[in-house]
Each structure stands twice: as structure tokens, then as C-alpha cells.
Structure 1
Amino acid sequence: MSYFRKLTQETTRLTQMLGREDKWLIVINADPDAMASALALKRIMVHRVAEVGIAHVNEVKRPDNLAMMRFLRIPTQMLTAQVRTQYDHFAMVDSQPHHHPDFKSCSFSIVIDHHPITAASPVTARFVDIRPDYGSVSTILTEYLYNLRIRPGKLLATALVYGIKADTQSFERHFLEADVKAFSYLTKSADMTLVRKIIHSEYHRRWLKFFSKAFRKMRFVGQKGLFVYMDTLESADILVMLADFFTRVHGLSWNMLCGIVKKQVVVIFRGDGIGRNMGQMAAKLFGDVGSAGGHRGAARAEIELAKFGDKSVEEVLYRRLTGSKLPGKEKCPLTA
């Protein structure tokens, strides 16, 4: 019996798409799972095509992502028009073409993902493998490597281990037996010391001030929800950091962290995976005005700031969430 499920048809179709003269660019919205998956797909392609590169559409500022890139030598670069013209084929991992405006500049032939599929935005690439039940795309790419008899080296195995760990929140968020099997298989080749170094690089010192601001601005929604509007921020990663932090607060089952980042209103959702489905919640609240969706325990929405006109962004977001007017300022529960 095979350790992983057989992907004979998938690997045959995938490898048949890779020509010796082809130049492939793997495009990602860089986070641990996306970077690890891109590195794995590059390993599959590298001896089958003329050239393969990795490019990201987002600014990489989170310390753990920067540490991952540095320690594991992930050769990703910012996607620009100049970079794009150097390649004639495009692949995507851990995203779908409608997830980010900058993806529209590429015509994708390969899409491998684990985010839910929406009827409003079907994926029409030549090769599509989307498995919403999987905890990480790193697991999917590990299965491809195994089926192609490619044993990942130390750095690739370490990247995939961290990708699985990050997207399943160390198996506290949704995962399958396949994710556990992949993690176990990869740890035999991975450098767990490097994994710990990446984990311990989670916060910028200058970000600590945002915890204080979040505590002052947080508003409870019912008995188990939390809403926090953080005004203008340098990076959406700050919202992700805070949203992940609030998931550890006893008695809260979900939170919604919001802010303005470069003329985009970004909303980050986190849940315990038991109650509300965050992906459905994001799509219901903001799918009509921007890109919105995600998993049961984690989701994201992005709306152009211009769509709010002269209205208060905080007021509009709160009203969409609760159906009621934003209440007056409350005392911080930590000091009341």
C-alpha cells in the first residue's frame, strides 16, 4: 500500500505540460505555505524546463516569513511587468486567480490550491488541482513529490514542514490525515532547528505598539466575537498577527481585525473552527464589494478604499458585521 494516495493521472498530466524550452514563473501571495509549495513545484519543474522562477505579489514584511526566506534560501522576487516578460508560462500555488488584483496580469496554466472554490469565480487553467479539505498546499505538493519519486532535500523538507505547521496552526486548525502523514514523512529530512528559528522570529519590535492600540479599540460582538478597527497600517501582516493573538483568548470563538493598507481596506477573520465558518462569513459580508473568502477557521477580505466614499470605514464595517450603528467608545476592558 502506498504511503500517500496515488496521483498517476495528475503527475502524468502535469509533467506533460512541461516542455524543455519553456520558461515558467510560479506566482504566489507569499506566506509560509505558499513559499514552501512554490519551492516544491519548482523542484518538480527544474529539470524538465529551461527556466523556473518564483514571484510574489505582496510585500513580505512579517519576520517569520523573512526568516523563512533567508534560512531556507527561497528565491522569490516581487512580481513586476519586467519580471513577467521574462517568462512564457505561469503557475500558481496556494491561491486562485481572483484572490489578488495583481494576479490578473498573468494567464495561469497551472493552479494548485486548497482554498474553497466559488461558483462566481471558477478556475479555468489547463491544470487545476484544488482540494479544500486539505489543511495545506504543502501537503498536496508533498504528495506530488512522493508520486514522482523525488525525495525532498533538507531545505525543501524544512520549508514544507513549516508550511504545514503554519497553515494548520500546529494541527489546531482544520487538517486531514494526509497532512499528518506529510508532516511525519518530511520531518525525517527536515532541519527542525531551523523551524524553531523561524517560529521565534514572529514579531518586529516596532509592532508591539499595535497590541496596545488593539486593546484600546476592541469591541465585543455578542458573547464570543471581537471587532477591532486599526485605522491605517503599514502592512496587513499586523492584522494577521493580532487576529492570531486574539484566537488564544479564552471565551472568544471568532474575531475580525480591520485596517487600511495602501488604499485597500483589509479585513482578517479568525475563528475556532467550531462555530462560525470564517470563509463563508467573509464572503457573505464583503463578497459583493471586494474579494472575500477563505477557510472555516481563517479568512480575508479586501475592498478598495474608494468604495467607502466619505463614509467612516469603521462605521461601515461594523454596521455590515452587526447590522447596527457603531456604539460610543468603550473603556478598555483591561483598565476598566
Structure 2
Amino acid sequence: MALFRQLDEQISQMLALLNKDDRWLIVINADPDALGAALALRHIFKRRVLDVGIGHINEIKRPDNLSMIRFLRIPTRKIIPNLAAQYDKFAMVDSQPHHNPAFDQFQFSIVIDHHPILPDKPVNAPFVDIRPKYGATATMLTEYLYNLHIRPPKLLATALLYAIKADSAGFERSFIDADVTAFKYLTKHADPAILNRIARSDFLLDWMRYFSRAFYNLRRIGQGLYAHMGKVENPDILVIVADFFTRVYGVSWNVVSGEYNDKIVAIFRGDGVRRDVGKTAASLFGEIGSAGGHKGAARAEFDLAALDGKDPESFIVKKLSRGKTQNVQRI
């Protein structure tokens, strides 16, 4: 009995798009799952095409992401026009083209992802493999490697292992049997010492002031928490704080928002039981920006100008409380 599902058809379709003369860029919004999946796809491509690189659209400042890049030697670079111009084919992992306006400049030939599919925003590319039930895109790429009879080298196995661990929040978020199987399989090939170093890279000392700001601005809205951080140096800090608030007893969801590059970014976290925060984010903010995600983790992003001068914090409070501001309490 095969360890993973057979992917003969998918692999044939994907490999048919590769040519020895092509230069491919794997485009990501860098986080652990995207970094691990991109490294795996690069490993598959590297002997089948002329050149393959990894490029990220976001600023990378989260310590675990930086540790992954450093210790696992992930050759990703920030995408600028001069970099993109060096490539003629583009692939995407752990995202879909509508997830960020920065993706609009690319015509993707390959899209591999595990986020929910939005009926009104179909993904059009020669090869599309989207499996929303999977806990991590890294699991999908592990299946690709296995089907191609490629044993992942130590650093690649460690990257994929940490990616699954991070995106499933240690299997506290939604996952399926394939994620567990991939995790067990990769454990045999990964470096536990490096994995531990990456896993312990949680916070930067400079971020402590943001936690202080979050506590000061914290509000209780029904069974959830909300904090607006004002201007932030990087939206990754919003993710860190939102993840922290998931540990508060008796709270089923939380939202942490902030202002970054003339945009409002709101990070949603939930227990995945009482409400689907991906659907919540899409319903509240989908009309004015990009919004959506999973049952337990989601994101919304929209232009500050869309508020027409309204206070961002008050605007989001009203949205989250459905206009019933009497249910909002400062903590």
C-alpha cells in the first residue's frame, strides 16, 4: 500500500510544462509553509529547467522565517522589477493570484495551494492543484516528492516538516490524515537540532512594545478579542500578537489590526468551532479589499483610503460587533 495518494496525472501535467530552456520564478508571500513548499518545488524543477529561483513579495522580519532562510539555506529574494524580468515562467505556492495585488504583475503557469477556493475568484492557469482540506501546502509538495521517488535531503525535509508544524499550529488547526503521514515521513529525514532552533525563534526584543500597545488597546467583543495596533513596521507583528491571543482561556476568536504602507491589515484567529473566521473576514471586508482564509486563520487587507477619513479602529469595531457597540468592552 502506497504511503501517499498517487499523483500520476497531476505530475504528468505539471512536468509537461517544464522545458530545458525555461527560467522559472516561484513566487510566494513568505511564511513557513510558502518557504518550505517553494524549496520543494525548486528541488523538483532544478534539473528539468535552465534556471529556477524563489521570490517573495513581502518584507521578511518574523524570526522563524528568517531562521528558516538562514539555517535551511532557502535562496529567496525580494521581488523587484529587475528580478522578475530575468524569468519567463512563473509558479505560485501557498497562495492564489487574488490573495495580494502584488501578484497581478505575473501570469502564472502553475498554482499549488491549500487555501479555500472562492467561487467568484477562480484560478486560471495551465496547471492548478488546490486542496482546501489539507493543513499545509508543504504536505502536498511532500506527496509530489514521494510520487517522483525523490527522497528529500535533510534541509528540505526540515523545511517541509517545520512548514506543516507551523501551518497546522502543531495540529491544533484543521488538518487531515495526509498531513500527519507527511509529518511522520519527514521526521525520518529532517534535522531535529535545526528544527528546534527555528521553532524557538519566536520574538524580537523590539516587538515587546507592540505587545504593550496591544494590551492597552484590547477590547472584548462577545466571545472574542480585538486590538488595533496603529502603525506597524511590518504586518508580521500582527500575526504574532494574534497567535498569542489564541491562548487566552474562554476566547473563541480574536482580531488584531494595524496600518502598514497606507493599508489596513487585520489578522483573524479562531478556534475553528464556533465560527469560521475565513468566512467572517470575507463577509466583513471582502467588498473593500482582499479577505479570506481558513476556519481558524484568516486575513483582510484594504486601502486606508477606502475608509473615507473614518477612524480605522472604530470602523473595525463596528464591523466586528455588527454595529452593536454596547457589546464592546475595554479590558
* TM-score using structure 1 length: 0.96
Give the distance between the partners of 2:215 and 2:51, measured in 1 at CA: 49
Question: Which residue of structure 2 lines up, in the alignment, with residue 211 of structure 1?
Answer: 211
Equivalent in the alignment of 1:227: 226
Partner residue, 2:276: 277
2:247 is the alignment partner of 1:248: yes
Q: Specify the SS of the correspondent of 2:97.
A: coil
Q: Quote the RMSD (CA, aligned, Å).
A: 1.3
Query: 1:309 Cα deviation (Å)?
Result: 2.0
How far, CA to CA, are the matches of 2:76 and 2:324 in structure 1?
Answer: 44
Alignment partner, residue 4 of structure 1: 4
| Structure 1 letter corresponding to 2:195 | V
Identity across matched positions, percent: 54
Cα deviations across residues 287-331 of structure 1 (Å, max 9, x unaligned)? 000000000000000001111121111111111111227579966
Distance 2:121 2:82 in 1: 28
How far apart, CA to CA, are the structure 1 residues paired with 2:306 and 2:14? Answer: 41
Q: State the secondary structure of the residue aligned to 2:109.
A: strand
What are the superposed Cα offsets for residues 122-155 of structure 1, whole Å, 9 maximum, x if unpaired?
1001000000000000000000000000100000
Matches within 5 A, 1:176-195: 176-195=176-195
Q: In the alignment, does 2:57 pair up with 1:57?
A: yes
Counterpart in the other structure of 2:287: 288
Q: Tell me how far apart the structure 2 counterparts of residues 164 and 55 of structure 1 sit (CA, whole Å).
A: 21
CA distance in 1 between counterparts of 2:177 and 2:76 reads: 30
What SS does the aligned partner of 1:142 have? Answer: helix
For 1:275 and 1:88, the matched residues in 2 are separated by 45
1:315 and 1:325 in contact (8 A); partners too:
no
State the distance in 2 between where 1:48 and 1:292 align: 36
Partner SS, residue 201 of structure 1: coil
Unaligned runs of 5+ in 1: none
- What is the letter of the counterpart of residue 236 of structure 1? P
Deviation per residue, 1:256-282 (Å, 9 max, x gap): 111101111000000011110011000
Q: What TM-score, normalized by structure 2, do the two folds share? A: 0.98
| Shift in Å, 1:213 | 1.3
Number of equivalent positions: 331
2:321 touches 2:327 (CA, 8 Å); kept in 1? no
Alpha-carbon distance between aligned partners in 2 of 1:249 and 1:280, rounded to the nearest angstrom: 22
Partner of 1:317: 316
Note the residue ranges of structure 2 that are not aligned, 5 or more in a row. Answer: none
Task: Check whether the contact 1:30–1:56 (CA below 8 A) recurs between aligned residues.
Answer: yes
In the alignment, structure 1 residue 76 sits paired with structure 2 residue 76? yes
Q: Does 1:152 align with 2:152?
A: yes
Question: What's 1:301 paired with?
Answer: 300
Deviation per CA, 1:58-86, whole angstroms, max 9, x where unpaired? 00000111011000000000111111110
Task: Give, in angstroms, the shift of residue 216 of structure 1.
Answer: 1.1
Provide the C-alpha distance between the structure 2 equivalents of 1:90 and 1:292, rounded to a whole number of angstroms: 24
Contact 2:218 2:330 in 1 (8 A): no
CA drift of 1:47 comes to 0.4
